[in-house]
Every structure is written in structure tokens, then in C-alpha cells.
Structure 1
Amino acid sequence: TAGLSARRDFDLTSSVYLLDVFRVAGEREGNAAAVTLQRNADNLKNVVAMDAYGNLPNLSAIELAIRMPGVTFGNPSDEVAETVSVRGMGQGMSTITIDGGLMSSWGAQSRNTRMTAFTGAMFEGLEVIKGHTPDKGVDSLGGTVNIKTRSPLSMRERRRITYTASVSGIPSGTDQIPMREQHRWHPLFNVAWLQKFKTPGSGQDNLAVSANFFYSENVFGFFRTVRDYQQTNSVPAYLWDYSTQDQYAVRVQKSLNTKWDYRVSDNSLLKVNVIVSDTPEPFRPSYQTRAFAGSATTVPSATTGIVPGAFDRRITVVRANAPAATATAATTPTAAIDAISRFIHRLQDLRHIDLAGEHRLGAFEYDWAGLYSVTRYRWGPKEISLTNRIGGVPVIGPNGQPGTGLNTMVAPNGERGVGWILDRTASDAYPRFVQNGGLDFTVPGNYRPTQNGLSSQAGDIQPHKVRDLRGNIKYRLPVESITAYLKTGGQVREQTTSTLPVRRRWSYLGREALPSDTSVMTWDRLRTGRAIPQWTPLQFTENGRPKEPSLWQEDLYFHESSRYSAFNHVRETVYATYLMTQGKFGRNGFVAGVRGETTDTVASSYVRSRVPSTPAEQAADPVGAARRDYAGNYRERAGRYTNYFPSIHLNRDFLPNLKGRLSWSTSMGRPSMANAVPRETPNESARTLTIGNPALLPQTAKTWDASLEYYFEPSGSVSAGWFHKRIRDYIVNNVNVGVIGGGKDNGYLGEYEGFTQLTASNAGNAIAQGWEFNYLQQFTFLPGWLRGLSFNGNMTILNAHGDFGSAGAYRDKDQVPGFIPYSGNASLSWKYRRFGTRVLYSYTSYHIRTFNES
């Protein structure tokens, strides 16, 4: 009947992708839907379904993201991939969103969203947006990773219940550190319920509810060795610092997600999404042994630990030197061995809610969304660190008086200090480490806790809050010859981060050594036989405090002063508007427009007085001394910048299955919010003052993209793309921004007159470019059981060059920290009836994590 709407539901098969004459809104599961979304997109993006690679080990979104073209893991914290890098731009330069809205995360001050805080099981798909459009955020230098929630209204059946139960582990016979060896298997469980309902008065299902519960234990263990050599261009260089470490962690993830979709009418849809996620790290012990003698610039002599001439490319000889008679616990010994034991206990909880609506009225389409997301990252009551040392001077010597070079540990034959020979001739990874005089480093009684050697951050909190409100209006232009739209909208987003510190440290007052933990077996001892004793700090503490307070003396000034010195708060508010047009004529599509963003930043902290209290004053009145040093020096600084980001995206269907894309877009990478904190660090001898910069500008990029995409049945595609990105305004530290004047209004209450101000600033340029290839196919044309084979693979080749903010320097891809020039992924799967199996392979080339031109 004319003037009335009619609804028809169609189940699209894999052979139906795009209807040219009129458009049908529908959604299918798996790769077919993802391929369709990618093919019909107006801009360049890669889209993948969450189940595209089957059941990944931890059902994690990051496991899926790093298998997409141009995406690799960020610099892994503790050898675990938690953040992503898109097109080599490094972590912190790629935004992670949920349905287009920013999610809160620990690490937000450095803009490192950790994707391990939530499971991929609660989502439907993931897209990597590489060609930025005006209606979406542009604060990703490389690309935006957007995770899309599942719409329960789109499923065919009225009710669906799915569950996954699995056990992940490491097979016997593989090399594992002893702590990991004892915990080989860990569970994973997920259950999801989705159902559609008819509300009173509705003739069809118009309300859908989904709920997803997830539990997993993500476990890792590693052995790490770090060597630090003499700072010299001469050969050979001695090895002055040799460190080994075992670490084992259990990261638990518990989450509940529910989504409600309510279709008010054929022209109006309301959505609510709630995520509750707890990601505690209840058990993470770390045992580190560090043997060091002097520093990287020590000149070997008759008094140093390094023996002159007794070192070559493979061997370094360190002798035992008795401490000087005037040495104290604060004196750095010429040679020492530290046994550093740490128990890490972290608690992370995420609460995320977003409301959204979609409406249509004649030629107008409206959509809006608002969200509130908060993450609290806390140091738990078991967080503690303990350092025991051999070769130094204890706080309290054997005679019960303060330790000195004469009141220290002495071996039966009068030896003091400690010496060793490090020989890497037979093995570089597992060298020989043998005694070379001094105290026996295998005897626990020869070790004592260092000054302030027991420390805790139990109670520290780092909250991150995000509030976001955005809306769009889309109008179909009354032009019969083409399909064209005019679209505009705006966004207001506020995020705040804080550090609320609770920090303590103690010095040991006992005369006798602390009892070691003989049950601890390290990988180094297992492979080399080096029997360095270890201590477990939880033996001596409870709830972040010593069990026997009489044996420990707290540094009360440190506790009080850190409440000021480590505190900071940053608030960033973004105001954005845009205007764009998009449409299609014949086989051609286009998007063009501009987005404007104004960013306000307000940061606050405490700074220390230029003339601080004396050690005697700090000991006599720690609370009062801390207040005098910091409380009157509260700083609040503000900054603002405005940027405009034009873009144009063109696409053409050269053939029914061959699509080409060409685009030019602009984007930015915001500076770390830590840069805005108003710190003041004076260097009296150099007469410089290093400060924060809340007005620091973002790094900006202009990007050309070109690609060809070929699609074939069923749900297959092959594509090749090239991009060229010109980046400017790299952030450079310690830039001279002028000399501080005199008078009370000089910004520092009259202090630091004549000092040179150093701060982070924008300077430098670079170019990043590369190729991305992707191939996906299901081999249904093969005979028999081979029909179940499918392959998915991609390869990325990147290059970069420029000064990257170092004036007068030139760096290439091998000198850019975090830049991974080559990466690739391959997945071969086979399904036969109810049975399926899959092999996954991921490759990242060698790359550097840090780089120092000196």
C-alpha cells in the first residue's frame, strides 16, 4: 500500500554481497559478513570476524588484531603483548575504541591502551581503520582499532546459547623455568546467552538481550638476561653489569558483558552496552640476580673491581675489594652481587557503559552515543620488593652498631667484598660464573638487605575515566542522478588520569642475615649450577608491612614526600565538529570533508622547594619536612591546541569483483599526557630547569593510500595496498625554550633567575611507507575431504627514514625504536563435519626497542 512501510527478512548466502538497485540491511556471521563490510566500506579498512581464526588460546582481541595486515604488537611489557602498533607507528600512537568510543585503560597517561583487560568473546568483529574519515576520531597516527559489539537483534533464531570450555597448557618436554614447570595447565571458560523478545503491542521481535560471562587464566614465565658493557669504541670492552631474572605470572580475567537492543519502530533503535571486567594479577614472583662492578665509564685501576687487562671479548675478571674504612650502607661498592626478589600483586577493574540510538526521519538519519568508562589500576597488599647484597656494607654491622667498612661481614680467613670471573667462552646465554676471592656468594649468611632494601607500593591507585558524547546528522541530497549525502556532527570527550601514591621503604636493623628460601630454583641455577641464594619477601611482610616492625626502620620522610612528589592529575577535553559528503554514482564512490578538533589540557602536581629540608630535619619531623618541601608548591598548568583534518576517499568497481581505492587523509598522534604534568627538575651545576609542557602539540601525518581488492566466492579475497605517510612535529625532549627572568612573576615565585628552561617541544619530520598484502580463500572446489581447507595470510613490508626529532640526524627503519619493518601471518584450517583443526603462524622481524645515538 502506498505510504506504508513493509518489512521483509532475508537470509543472505555467501553468494550475495551487494544489491546495486536497492540496499538491504543485513548481517551474517563469520568471514562472509566481515568480507562484505570491508568491500562495501567507503574508506580503507581491514575487517575481520572474531571467530575468523577459530578459538585463539586466550580468546583475546589483541590475539586477533596482531594477525591483521599492518598490525603488530607494541613494545611488550614483561614479554607479553598487550598493546598494538599500526603501520610501524609504535604503541601510544594507535587508538583502541569500542563501537567508536574510547575505552578506559591502565597506561592511559602514555596512551597505551592494554587490550588484555577484556575478552574478544564479547565482541562480533574487529576493524582496523587506516583511512580516517571526518566523522570519526583522527587521533591515531597509524590507524584506529575499533572493536564492534554483537547485535543480538541481527541473529536469525530467537534464542542462542553458546559455551566454550578449554584448558591451555605447555606440553611436557618443552623448556620452562622451574616456576612455570610447576603450573603447566590453566582453564578458560565462556558462556553466552542471546534472546529476542516481543514487547507488548509489537507484532515482531523488537527487543534483544545478550549476556556473556568469561573466565580465563593467562599464564607466562620467562628467563631474561641483561648485560651492560663498558661505554667505549675500543675492543675489547669489559662487561661490568650481568643480570639474570626468572619471572612467572598468572593473570586472571573475569568479565560480564550485557547488551540490550530495542527497536522502538522501524525507524528508531536504542542500544545499551555494559561491560564489567576484573583483571587481577594475584601471583607474580620475580627473582633477579645482578652482579655489577663500577659503571659503564669506570676506568680500570688498582682500586676498581674490574681488573685492568684481565678482560677480553668473552671473559671479565672482577676482584674482591674490601670496603673503605669510611664506607657506609649508602656507599656503592666496587663490586657486589644483589639478589632482588619481588612479588607483584596488581588489581585492575574496568566498568564501561554506553548508550546509543539510531533514528530515521524522511531524508534524515540521526545517530548519537554517550559513554562512561573507568579503569582503576591498584597495587595490591602483597606488592613487595626485597634486595639482599653481598660485597657492600650493611645498615647494622655484626657488632650491632651502624655498618662501616670495618664493621661488616668478614669471611673465616678475613676476606671481605666479593669477586668473580664471568666466562662466556663455552656459552653466551649460560656463561660460567665462578668465585674469585672474597665472601662466598653461595652462603646466605654473607648477604644483608641494602639500605631501604625493603619497599612497597601497596595501595597505589591509577584511575582513568572517560566521558564521551557524540552525535551525527545525515541528509540525503535530492539529486536523482547520484546517491549523495551531506553529513555533520560533533563530539565532546573528557578523560582524566591520576596517580595517587602510597609508597614505603624500610632498612633492616638486624645483625643476622634473613633466612633464605631454599625452595626457590631458578633457571640460571638449573642451567649453570650458579647457586646464588634467593629470598621470598612475603616471608617477612604482611599487607605491605613488615611482620616484625622492630627489625625494620621505615623512611618516614620518603613515605610522606612521595604523597606529593609522585602525585599528578591530568584532564584532557576534546571538542570536535565536522562536515563531509559521501555518496556513489555508477561504479564510483566518494567521501570528502574536514574535521576540526580543539583540545584543552589541564595538569597539576607538586614540585619540590628549591632549597629542601636537611636530612636531620627529615629525620626529626618527616611529616612537617615533607609539607614544607612540597605542600606550598602546588602547580597547575593549562594548554590548548586546535587542528583541522581534511580527507578525501575515492573508490571504483573496475569489475564486479575488482575494487580500487585511492585516498588522502590526515591524522595525528597526541602527546603523552605525562608530558603535561608540571614538573620542575633543577640542575644547579648546569643551571637548567626541566619542566613539563601542557601545550605540547600532537604529531601530525598526511597519508596517501592506494589499493586493489579482488573478491571471489566463497568469502574470499586478495588485496595489495601501498601507503605513504609524511609525519611532522615529532616530539623532542630537553629543548631550550629560553632563560628564566627575575622577579616574583617569573613563573617560579622569583626562583631560578638566569636558569635555562628545558622542555619537550615539537620538531623533526619523518616518512613511513610500505606495502600490505592479504589473501583469504576457502578451497571448496577441491574434492572430498579437502573441501574443508581454507587459508588466510598477509604480509607487510615497511620502510621509514627522517630525523625523527633529532636535529641534524638521519635515521632509517633500523634505528627507530618499536618500528617493525617486516611482519606476516598465516593460518591454515581444515574442517570436516564436526571436526576442525587450525595452524597459526605469526612473524615479526628483528627490530630494536630502544636507540641511543651516543
Structure 2
Amino acid sequence: IGGAVNMVSKSALDRKGRHLSGQVGAIYRARPGFGQPPLRAYAVSYSEVFGDKFGVSLNYGNRSHYSPTPATSRAYENKLDDPAYTYRFGTEDYYHKQTRWGGGLKLDYKLSEGTRFYGNVTRNRMMEPSFNHYIDYATTDAAATRDAAGNLTGAGGIVPGYTKTVTEWRPIPASTVTANSSFEWKHVGSVHAEIGAVHKFRGLDVDYNLYKSVSTTNYPHNDQTNIIATGIGLRIEDTSDPNLPKLTQTAGPDITNPNSYSTARRDLRKAQGKDAFVGAAINIKKNFDTVVPTWVKAGVRLRTQNRDLFADQFRWNYVGRDGVTGVNQATGINDDNLAQFVNPNIRRWGGTEKYPLLPTLNWATWGWNPGGNYKPGPSLETGLRDSPALFVEDVELRTRTALANRQKFEETINAAYIMGNMDLGKLQITAGMRVEETKTEGEGAKNEITPAEAALRAAFVGPLTDAEIIRRTTAQYRGRQKAKGDYREVFPGLHFKYTVLNNLLVRASYSSNIGRPSIGQLIPNTTVDNIRRSLVISNPSLKPQHANNFDLGVEYYFEPVGVLSAGVFLKEIKQFIFTRGGDVIQGNTGEYGEYTGYTFSSQFNGGAARVRGSNWPTSNNSPSCRACGRVSVCMPITRGIRPRAIMAGPCPRPRWPGLFRKPPTPVFPISGFPSPFASSTTTLAAVSSASPPPRRGSTTGGPPASPISRPSMRLTRTSPFISTPGISSTCRSCPRNSRAGAGAGISALVPRSWVASTGVIRHLLLEAHRFRRHLL
């Protein structure tokens, strides 16, 4: 919704002769216990003009980097006041390596001084293997009660009497510890081809192009192994670092003993997404040689995107030779022998080494073992290959995902615009209007049990066999359904530029724009994370968000290449898109009933919001002041009006006393998903300013970090550790429900109040933690 930049590649004809340049570099990130050598990065470019008619441009780049990341996560009781118990804690050791390479070739032919034809093709690839180790301690999000004799009763896993710093868990079946090892492989490839021409006649400019772009994202083998122990009593005690509490096992089986684990499971996911873009555009600009220099420009742009998705999932439970997971009740013996699959070479760091070393199982490396530090032996993957009789497959999951996860989507956007400019000397006026028509069509599985199928199930006698499960699942999900939609929007704009002095400008503008939901949201889809017990649910009913933008600014230019700026802005947003997360799925929720107790996140439309602020960016690119870099200061003030999306639980109180007034009582009781929102006049206010660290695509993730970041104010999430302002009942900028890592921000639900933040960030190649001190 912030607009877009139309990038135009250079032409070799723009400069004469032959030009060759190159860059080399290396990236190294330290991680104890790893011998990973520095990773190279390089880029080369070449351009040459032959006979003043034919130009060639060629470029290629290759870059690799890896990110070793220790992290912890912690979930608290959803309440404002202390004490609040801890019902979940997890540690993570995540390591991934990303390699990108790409190149492009562009050919230009100058037919005459006024006519040029061109064609270009680019290809990019990215490979990202990663492995992760998760340890997840969890119990029910409820406290137990005591009977008249003082005995603990009920299904609550929290022992009454918890304090601000200490929580104890009961050793009930719902109190579990899960050790997870996973290997994930991501491979992305794209090809883009374009042809076009530029014509310059007397007083008339014409350009047009036609392009096609195809990209494929593959997840060929995302492999996970999990072992689960139940009935664990635990004491969680705060230390000086709330992200690294002290854990003490108080009851239940020894969690460091492989024989204490009753469930061993392998999950495999294979997925692919294909996107194809086809588009064309024509632009015509007419210059009028009048007393007042004027030009008018008009154009048409067409674009169609097609997306084709599939995601197959497989699951095998290890049952051993007796065919029973864990202890065989008939014999009292556990013959699973999980110790044979344990990896003794797990290396922990960043504070996670203080916790018990659990029997994490070997994983399928698929030929990737960074630095040779992990040397897995027998695994559930090799065991399934060599002794399939020791495993039981979840045939329902395999059959259902093969049908339900086949999805198609098509979006066509046709747009036309007209704009004009008048030069009145010191004052220039530009005005225009764009009309867009959008059409969408999606296709997915139909989840339906017909009367005939219901009768067949009712008549079935005997235990369910794999064949019957496959038949039932196929009958339920084999149908297909389609949905269509279309809408038309008009976007006007008006811009003024006034030259006060040769080096002093004043600008004022009004514009309107649209932010469309991502295609991934418009396709019905649910992603389940059984380790974190969470779901990410798409929202096909999501509507576009709109904004009216007003800007006023002053720019002062100084020699040789510097600028000082100051400006104020107002952005009025309607139907803003936000991400809600942290709510717990209750019972009797229909399609999601099997995930009772899981948290979920999804995107929704809010009501309206108003963003007011000012900014003072400056830059000096002169050779004598390269160290000055660029400095940008921004102070946004945000106010939400008429929100229709107030969450079930308030954000826990931030550790900045007096910054916020106490939030109102929640107005939206979650009883299932999806549900309608209640109306409210409560104000939403928030400011976030952060540079998010790299992510691996989790449910709380944000976009990959950029080495150059600006202060930002967004109503959508800006960091893996900062939730949507004022929306989420899981506040990741507070110590509660937070995750250790870089990032800074504030987030709260505030009644009729204003919140402001100032961020000063030098535009240099710095890591997020290097400049966190400049925020807030």
C-alpha cells in the first residue's frame, strides 16, 4: 500500500565503447563448534556497443551466506497483571545456508535516432538447505484446582500458587516434552523474458513491451523426526535473563532417557508452487509546445498471474517389532530401542547449552552436513527404508493432502491511466488518474460427505482398514470447487513542485493507492505445525486495503551531491490488512476440531486508521564525506478509527511503565474460527521500527532482513518479534510471549490515545542488533 517503483534496466547504448566491472567479497559468521569457511560472493558485468547500432549487456552474480541462530520462545498466561504462569517454553538451534546466483542478457538495436528495439532475459536461482533442532516443553493453558482435601484436580496443568517468577507443572498426560530434528530444502528458480521498443518522434514518445515470467519454488524433502514424552512435571524459574529461565524436572520419566519417549514419528512434506506472469504495456506521451509547456501521457497495462500449488504430506509412526508405540501394555516392555537413532553430536550454544541434553534423533541429511560437525547414523529415514514393517503409515494424511492441497489461482489486472503536467515556471503541476479492473478465479478441493457416502459409512461393519480409510478420504475430498471475483477501482493523484530558489524546492501531493492481499491468502489453505502446536490459516475473504496519502515537504540541495529534507505526511487507510496470532482454538470448531488447544494465526481486514507524522532524511554522497552515509529521522503518529477487529486477549503490559494506559476489556470472545468480529470504537495505536532478522518461514515470521533499513511505521507486521500493532493477543515486543532475538518496537491496544516513536538509523551495512539502541 506504500506504492511501487517501476524499474527500467539500462541500455548498453546509453554509453559508448566497452565496459567491464567486477566485485568480490566473502561472508563469515562465527558459531562455536563450527568450522564453516568464509563463503564467497562475487559479481561481474559487461557491456559493449558495436557500430553505434547494436548493444550488448551481460551480468552475473553469485552469493552465499549462512545463518546459525539459537533462540528460545516462551508463552505466558494471557492476562495484564502479575503473576502470570508459563505454559510453554522452547529452545531452537537453527542453521541454514543460502546460495543465490543469477544473470541477465540484454540486446539493444538502434534502427534510427528515434527508434530502438530491445530484448532481455534473466535467470535466477536460490538454494537453501537448513536443519533445526527444537525442544518444546508444553502443558495446558489452565491452572488446576484443589479439592476439599487439598489434592490437585481438573485438567489444568499449572499448579496453583505460581508467582511472577516461578511456575510449576503437574505431571499429567498433557504435560509433554517434544524433541524435534528437521531438515528442510528449498529451491527457487525463475526466468524472465521481455521484448519491447522505444520510439521518439517530434513531440511524441511511444514505448511498449511484452513480457513473460515463470518461477518455481520447490520443497523436495522437508523431513522431520519427533519423539514425545508425557506426564512431565516441571519447574520454570526466572533468571536475570527472562529468555533463559531455569528448568527443573520434578516428576515423570527421565526426559534424558530415550526409553522415556512413547512416540517416535517421521513427517515428510513435498511441495511445489509455480507462478507464471504474462503482461504487456504501452505508453504514449505528447508534448505541447505552447506558452505554458505542457505534456500529456496515457497508457494501458495488462497482467495475468497463474499459480499452481501442491503439497503432499506423509507420516510414519515407529512401532518396533511388537507393533506398539512405547510400552506394550500386554508385556510391560518397550522394545522400540530409540537409543539406536539418537544423535550424540548435537552442539548447542547461545545459552541453550544450559538445558538438559535430550535424546534428539538423527535426521535425514539428504547429502548436506555443514562443516562435517553432525555425523548422524541410523535414523527413522534409514529405518523406514530398511525395515518398513517397523512403521505404521498415516494413510489418511497422505490421501487427504494429495487431494486437498492441489490448488490453482488466476488473477488478471487490466489498468489504464492518463496524466498531465504543466510547467508554470517556478511551479509545476502534475495530475492524473488510474483505473484498474481486477478479476480472480481460484480452484481447490471440495470437502464434502454426500448422503450416499454417509450411508456407506453407516453400513460399514468391522475395524477400519487402510483400504477403507483411503476410500473414505478419497470420497470426501475428490470433488473440486471454483470461486470467482472481480472489482474496479479508480485512483486519482495531484502533485505540486515549487522552486523557491535554485537549490530549494517545496513539494505537495495527494495520491490514492491499493494494497492487494497476497495470492497465498486468497487460496484456501491451512499449514499445521505439530511441534509448536500452531496453525496458519489463509483467508480467501480478505479484501484489498486502500489509502489516501497527503504529503508536504521541503528539499534543500547542496554541493556537490547532498540533500537536506523535511516533510510531514498523512495517510488514511481503510480496510487495512493485519495478522492476528496467538488465539487458542477451542472445542466444537468443526473443521478445526482436531486441533483443539493449538494456537492459530490468520490475516483479516480491520476498519480504518490514520497515520500522521514527519520525517527529516538527509544524505551526502560526496567523495569527501563517504563516512557520513545517510541519516533518516521519522516520527509517525498513528491513530486507528472504527476498527472492526479487536482481539480476544489484551497484550501483556510492556516493561515501560506509564507509556500506555490500561487497555479496555476484550470485546471478542473466541469460540471458534472463523468468527465475526464485534463492533467497537476503541482506538488502535502503535508504532514499530525494526530491522527483522532472517527467518525460515515460521508462523511468526516476517520478511528477510535487509542490510539497509529505514525506520518504518506499518499496520502489518514488521518483524518476527513484533506483532501487528495493537492486534495480537500474543505481544512479541513484551517479555511475555516473546522470542529471543534482534528487533525493537512497541505494541499495545490503547483507548483514544496517541503513541509516538522516533528512530534514527544510519543507512549502513549493519546488523539489526548493531543499531537497536537507536530505536525508541
TM-score, structure 1 as length reference: 0.66
Match of 1:556 among 372, 395, 402: 395
Q: Are 2:195 and 2:210, in contact at CA under 8 Å, matched by a contact in 1? A: yes
Q: Are 1:189 and 1:215, in contact at CA under 8 Å, matched by a contact in 2? A: yes
Residue 86 of structure 2 is aligned to residue 150 of structure 1 = no
Aligned AA (2:27): S
Partner Cα distance (1:551, 1:805) in 2: 52
Residue 683 of structure 2 is aligned to residue 810 of structure 1 = yes
SS at 1:312's partner residue?
coil
Could you tell me how far 1:242 is from its partner in structure 2?
A: 0.9
Partner Cα distance (1:207, 1:841) in 2: 48
Residue 78 of structure 2 is aligned to residue 239 of structure 1 = no
SS at 2:2's partner residue?
coil
Partner Cα distance (2:169, 2:350) in 1: 20
**Residue correspondence of structure 1 range 626-645 to structure 2 within 5 A:** 626-632=473-479, 634-645=480-491
Could you tell me how far 1:513 is from its partner in structure 2?
A: 3.2
Q: Are 2:617 and 2:631, in contact at CA under 8 Å, matched by a contact in 1? A: yes
Partner Cα distance (1:770, 1:262) in 2: 48
Partner Cα distance (1:519, 1:702) in 2: 57
**1:724-747 deviation per Cα after TM superposition (whole angstroms, max 9, x unaligned):** 11111335899xxxxxxxxxxxxx
Could you tell me how far 1:268 is from its partner in structure 2?
A: 1.0
Q: What is the percent sequence identity of the aligned residues?
A: 22
Match of 1:225 in 2: 72
Could you tell me how far 1:379 is from its partner in structure 2?
A: 0.7
**1:75-127 deviation per Cα after TM superposition (whole angstroms, max 9, x unaligned):** xxxxxxxxxxxxxxxxxxxxxxxxxxxxxxxxxxxxxxxxxxxxxxxxxxxxx
SS at 2:337's partner residue?
coil
The 10-residue stretch of structure 1 (262-271 or 527-536) with the greater mean CA deviation from structure 2: 527-536
Match of 2:102 in 1: 255
Could you tell me how far 1:608 is from its partner in structure 2?
A: 1.1
Compared CA separation, residues 692 and 319, structure 1 to 2 (3 A): closer
Partner Cα distance (1:673, 1:554) in 2: 33
Match of 2:28 in 1: 169
Match of 2:163 among 300, 307, 312: 312
Residue 236 of structure 2 is aligned to residue 422 of structure 1 = yes
SS at 2:312's partner residue?
coil
Q: Are 1:828 and 1:840, in contact at CA under 8 Å, matched by a contact in 2? A: no
Match of 1:433 among 247, 252, 257: 247
Residue 335 of structure 2 is aligned to residue 521 of structure 1 = no
SS at 2:398's partner residue?
helix
Partner Cα distance (1:231, 1:152) in 2: 60
Partner Cα distance (1:575, 1:602) in 2: 15
SS at 1:144's partner residue?
coil
Residue 206 of structure 2 is aligned to residue 355 of structure 1 = no
Q: Are 2:116 and 2:198, in contact at CA under 8 Å, matched by a contact in 1? A: yes
Structure 1, unpaired ranges of 5+: 1-140, 199-204, 322-332, 392-416, 681-690, 735-758, 781-785, 830-836, 848-854
Compared CA separation, residues 443 and 646, structure 1 to 2 (3 A): same
Q: Are 1:524 and 1:530, in contact at CA under 8 Å, matched by a contact in 2? A: no
Match of 1:698 in 2: 544
Residue 184 of structure 2 is aligned to residue 370 of structure 1 = no
SS at 2:311's partner residue?
coil
Match of 1:84 in 2: none
Compared CA separation, residues 805 and 838, structure 1 to 2 (3 A): closer
Could you tell me how far 1:251 is from its partner in structure 2?
A: 0.6
Aligned AA (1:582): N
Partner Cα distance (1:839, 1:522) in 2: 23
Match of 2:314 among 494, 504, 507: 504
**1:470-507 deviation per Cα after TM superposition (whole angstroms, max 9, x unaligned):** 1111111242x122112111111111223212211111
Compared CA separation, residues 177 and 549, structure 1 to 2 (3 A): farther
Could you tell me how far 1:363 is from its partner in structure 2?
A: 2.2
Compared CA separation, residues 377 and 732, structure 1 to 2 (3 A): closer
Match of 2:274 in 1: 463
Partner Cα distance (1:800, 1:522) in 2: 42
**Residue correspondence of structure 1 range 37-436 to structure 2 within 5 A:** 141-156=1-16, 158-170=17-29, 176=31, 178=33, 181-183=34-36, 185-198=38-51, 205-233=52-80, 235-282=82-129, 284-296=130-142, 301-302=152-153, 306=157, 308-321=159-172, 333-381=173-221, 383-391=222-230, 417-436=231-250
Compared CA separation, residues 799 and 429, structure 1 to 2 (3 A): same
Residue 541 of structure 2 is aligned to residue 605 of structure 1 = no
Partner Cα distance (1:838, 1:233) in 2: 33
The number of equivalent residue pairs is 606
Partner Cα distance (2:407, 2:60) in 1: 35
Residue 602 of structure 2 is aligned to residue 764 of structure 1 = no
Residue 359 of structure 2 is aligned to residue 533 of structure 1 = yes
Match of 1:725 in 2: 571
Q: Are 1:231 and 1:296, in contact at CA under 8 Å, matched by a contact in 2? A: no
Could you tell me how far 1:641 is from its partner in structure 2?
A: 0.4
Q: Are 1:827 and 1:840, in contact at CA under 8 Å, matched by a contact in 2? A: no
Partner Cα distance (1:706, 1:545) in 2: 66
Match of 1:573 in 2: 412
Residue 292 of structure 2 is aligned to residue 482 of structure 1 = yes
Could you tell me how far 1:692 is from its partner in structure 2?
A: 8.8
Match of 2:633 in 1: 795
Partner Cα distance (1:767, 1:707) in 2: 19
SS at 1:703's partner residue?
strand
Could you tell me how far 1:777 is from its partner in structure 2?
A: 2.1
Q: Are 1:261 and 1:270, in contact at CA under 8 Å, matched by a contact in 2? A: yes
SS at 1:562's partner residue?
helix
Partner Cα distance (1:764, 1:466) in 2: 32
Could you tell me how far 1:233 is from its partner in structure 2?
A: 4.9
Could you tell me how far 1:811 is from its partner in structure 2?
A: 0.5
**1:814-844 deviation per Cα after TM superposition (whole angstroms, max 9, x unaligned):** 5955266544432589xxxxxxx99997559
Residue 761 of structure 2 is aligned to residue 825 of structure 1 = yes
**1:600-625 deviation per Cα after TM superposition (whole angstroms, max 9, x unaligned):** 11111112114687695573334422
Partner Cα distance (2:579, 2:91) in 1: 32
Compared CA separation, residues 787 and 773, structure 1 to 2 (3 A): closer
SS at 1:522's partner residue?
coil
Partner Cα distance (1:299, 1:495) in 2: 56
RMSD of equivalent CA atoms = 3.3
Aligned AA (1:355): I
Partner Cα distance (2:381, 2:212) in 1: 36
Q: Are 2:309 and 2:408, in contact at CA under 8 Å, matched by a contact in 1? A: yes
The structure whose RCO (Cα within 8 Å, separation 6+) is larger is 1
Compared CA separation, residues 234 and 487, structure 1 to 2 (3 A): closer
Match of 1:454 among 261, 266, 269: 266
Partner Cα distance (2:440, 2:128) in 1: 32
Match of 2:618 among 771, 775, 778: 775
Structure 2, unpaired ranges of 5+: 147-151, 321-334, 365-377, 527-536, 581-601, 646-678, 689-714, 718-724, 726-744, 746-756
Match of 1:652 in 2: 498
TM-score, structure 2 as length reference: 0.72
Compared CA separation, residues 697 and 291, structure 1 to 2 (3 A): closer
